[in-house]
Chain A
Amino acid sequence: MKVLVPVKRVIDYNVKVRVKADNTGVELANVKMAMNPFDEIAVEEALRLKESGGADEVVAVSIGPTQNQETIRTALAMGADRGIHIEAPHEIEPLAVAKLLKEVVAREEPGLVFVGKQAIDDDCNQTGQMLAALLGWAQGTFVSGIEIKGDSAAVIREVDGGLEHLEIRMPAVVTVDLRLNEPRYASLPNIMKAKKKPLDSMSAADLGVDIAPRLTITRVEEPPAREAGIKVCDVAELVDKLKNEAKVI
């Protein structure tokens, strides 16, 4: 079985983003970029499946500008076998991403697609569910445990009330949550080896998909700032402030 892992290039999670002065977006120039942390977890899970004999090939795919090839190389350095880069603008919407991935699935015929549950830049939390819908496949979302059992998979989902166990039919799309695994670091020799692994490049037009945006972002602004508060000396003062000043207890 082949596993497909879509990986997104996003602003590194440690960077504090700044809104552009003209309110058209956030500052992306000279900002450290990295693989979406959830996608590292997705790559790791695919690799573990391969290492345990449950999969024979792991293919990483990224959609975006040429620099997204770096993100694919990161996946290859972790251990993915080959990469596919689909050239597209940075601001491509989840529905268009899902349509492109559907075409990749048609060509590659994977048994599983592991996606991140959300990208930490736009926090849309849509792509995996949309891809599953377009393919008519089962979806396991926000997954913190997975076990493949022939033509079905037992998944554990992190839901608002706790955990939910589902049995989903394969092939399936699985969106991974934080506690599924701890992703490995790429070693230096593996980073070198990754440079020689195959990486195909194509355009959205090659796949015959219309990626025109459906939403318009008319303005991006800073959230209202919180005013700095005060330090209290001890618990007694804290309780007094909460009772008599803030009146919240």
Chain B
Amino acid sequence: MSILILADHDDGQLAPATLNTVTAATQIGGDIHILVAGDSGGEVAKSAAAIAGVSKVLTADDAALAHGIAENVAPLMQSMASSYTHLMAPATTTGKNIMPRVAALLDVMQVSDIIKVESADSFQRPIYAGNAIATVTSNEAIKVVTVRSTAFEAAAAEGGSAAIESASGSADVGLSNYVKSELSSSERPELTSAPIVISGGRGMQDGANFAMLEKVADKLGAAVGASRAAVDAGFVPNDYQVGQTGKVVAPDLYVAVGISGAIQHLAGMKDSKVIVAINKDEEAPIFQVADFGLVADLFDAVPELETTLG
């Protein structure tokens, strides 16, 4: 077995989800290599080489590979594929963008968003917003797999000493140009890897009220998330959305404030270890998955929570 993992990074830093993908690869077994495609001047490759369990890091440094442009990265990965039994990536927006393109170039079916490795060719993945779990076996010679990071522990970021080699980069195919990013900057932990997440829904009424949640988040070292309704209403940016079609989180503690608990929202948080719901409607479905439910007006309960936390 030999596995090539596409590193997720922003040309400056390795995304933590890469570490969870390494763990999934370790469970499959065999030699694990990481491909760093981008324009990062070697910094990301150094971090990748330090991950425990990785034996080789391949770097392709080229301006055309910056920002994970799928049209340019996919042919590069295709050209390397014949040496591997598995091509893997985290199921982040980068992995989801690039990997199906690689799979189609290789004429293989991808297995998306796995949550468990059963064997080298058999995986579990959620379907129907996590209301069913399918065990899928791939008969393809090369298995293309994306990994749900919350379902696997992170591999140790230090301790490895993989060799770094350069891979011949592919040229710009001239289909897509990066223009700019509008990234939400925050001092708080990243949503998908934060140990505590506090999310607000439509019940928050407007964006300014999210300041109440931020104050609690700062006391707990938590990340702030939201329901789709809160994002659609413009209270918070799109990258806050937790759910089937947003981000999947599984923190030690998830606090849902003014969120009703639609299946699409539950799909993104129901694997959290402890769930707290604050909602004024005691019939709200969120209480069916909450370990601790508080029936209360959030405009009373949240400020009180902040003061009680001291």
Contacts and interface: CB of A to CB of B under 8 A. Distances in A.
A93 interface: yes
A148 interface: no
Interface residues of B, number: 91
A223 B239 contact: no
A215 B111 contact: yes
Interface in B142-158: none
Contact of B103 (A126, A220, A229): A126
Interface stretch (B52-60, B203-211, B302-310): B302-310
A248 B196 contact: yes
Given A123-B129, A138-B176, A162 B183 contact: yes
Contacts of A122: 127-128
A168 interface: yes
A235 B180 CA distance: 44
Contacts of A228: 288
Binding site of A, secondary structure by majority: helix, strand, loop or mixed?
Answer: mixed
B170 interface: no
B244 interface: yes
A16 B139 CA distance: 31
Contact of A168 (B113, B175, B252): B175
A122 B130 CA distance: 10
A238 B305 contact: yes
Contacts of B180: 164-165
A95 B131 CA distance: 24
A215 B138 contact: yes
B238 A144 contact: yes
A229 B149 CA distance: 26
Interface stretch (B26-34, B36-44, B94-102, B161-169): B94-102
Contact of B252 (A38, A162, A248): A248
Contacts of B220: 249
Contacts of B176: 138-140, 166-169
Contact of A218 (B122, B177, B289, B291): B122
Contacts of A246: 253, 274, 291-292
A104 interface: no
Given A216-B136, A223-B133, A138 B239 contact: no
Given A133-B105, A246-B274, A126 B175 contact: no
Contact of A239 (B92, B252, B305): B305
Nearest to A158: B238
A160 B239 contact: yes
Given A120-B128, A163-B181, A217-B137, 19 more contacts: A16-B131, A95-B108, A95-B110, A133-B100, A133-B104, A138-B71, A139-B101, A141-B70, A141-B96, A154-B179, A157-B93, A165-B181, A178-B245, A214-B140, A215-B109, A223-B131, A230-B292, A230-B293, A249-B196
Interface of B: 10, 15, 67, 69-71, 74, 92-94, 96-105, 107-113, 122, 126-140, 174-184, 192, 196, 220, 228, 231-232, 237-239, 244-245, 247, 252-253, 263-264, 270, 273-276, 282, 287-296, 301, 304-305, 308-309
Q: Which 3 A-B pairs have the closest CB atoms?
A: A129-B100, A229-B291, A130-B104
Interface of A: 11, 13, 16-17, 19, 26, 38, 93-95, 98, 117-118, 120-134, 137-142, 144, 154, 157-169, 177-179, 213-223, 226, 228-232, 234-236, 238-239, 241-242, 246, 248-249
